[in-house]
Amino acid sequence: MAVITRQTIIGRMWVALVMLWAGMRILAVEIWLVGYGINIWWFAVIEVLSSILYGLSSARLVRALGARHRKDAGKWGALTLLGYVMPDTYLLSVGRAMPLATYVIVVSLALIFAAVALVRTRSSVVHLVRTKTG
């Protein structure tokens, strides 16, 4: 019988939270930005696929950093970044004549959440290392 570790449960919870956030972003784009040339179905597909990629790869990035596997961390870090930027890249590249405030909000939120993700990743790695050594 397979044993589910605490790390696995936390990883799955993280992916679930990322997917919940994706649903909220899809709804927000449907409400506020679909009139600016954004195809909500394409955005939804990109958002869901990139969220799965981001959720899984960021969880594996934390594990690789905690184990000090630099090569694996580089791979997972690159996939995490790709998953993170895909939806906003689509949104900003196909949106037509969106108000300047929309661009400012999208870019600002992306930068804020990237900073939060970096801090969260660092604290997760520190916690993982302490748990293994302590």
Tell me if 18 is assigned to some domain.
Answer: yes
- Say what the pLDDT of residue 11 is: 80
Tell me if 98 is assigned to some domain.
Answer: yes
pLDDT in tens, 61-92: 998 998 999 999 999 999 999 999 999 999 99
Tell me if 125 is assigned to some domain.
Answer: yes
Tell me if 55 is assigned to some domain.
Answer: yes
- Say what the pLDDT of residue 1 is: 58
Q: How confident is the model at residue 134 (pLDDT cuts 50, 70, 90)?
A: low
**Is 7's pLDDT higher than 80?**
no
**Is 132's pLDDT higher than 80?**
no
- Say what the pLDDT of residue 124 is: 85
Which residues constitute the domain of residue 110? Answer: 6-133
**Is 16's pLDDT higher than 80?**
yes
pTM recorded for the entire structure: 0.86
pLDDT in tens, 19-74: 999 999 999 999 999 999 999 999 999 999 999 999 899 989 998 998 999 999 99
Q: Report how many domains make up the chain.
A: 1
- Say what the pLDDT of residue 94 is: 96
- Say what the pLDDT of residue 77 is: 95
Tell me if 42 is assigned to some domain.
Answer: yes
Tell me if 12 is assigned to some domain.
Answer: yes
Tell me if 1 is assigned to some domain.
Answer: no
> What are the backbone angles phi and psi of residue 128, rounded to the nearest 5°?
-65, -45
Tell me if 81 is assigned to some domain.
Answer: yes
**In 52-86, which positions are buried (b, 16+ CB within 10 angstroms) versus exposed (e)?**
ebbbbbbbbbbbbbbeeeeeebeebbebbbebbeb
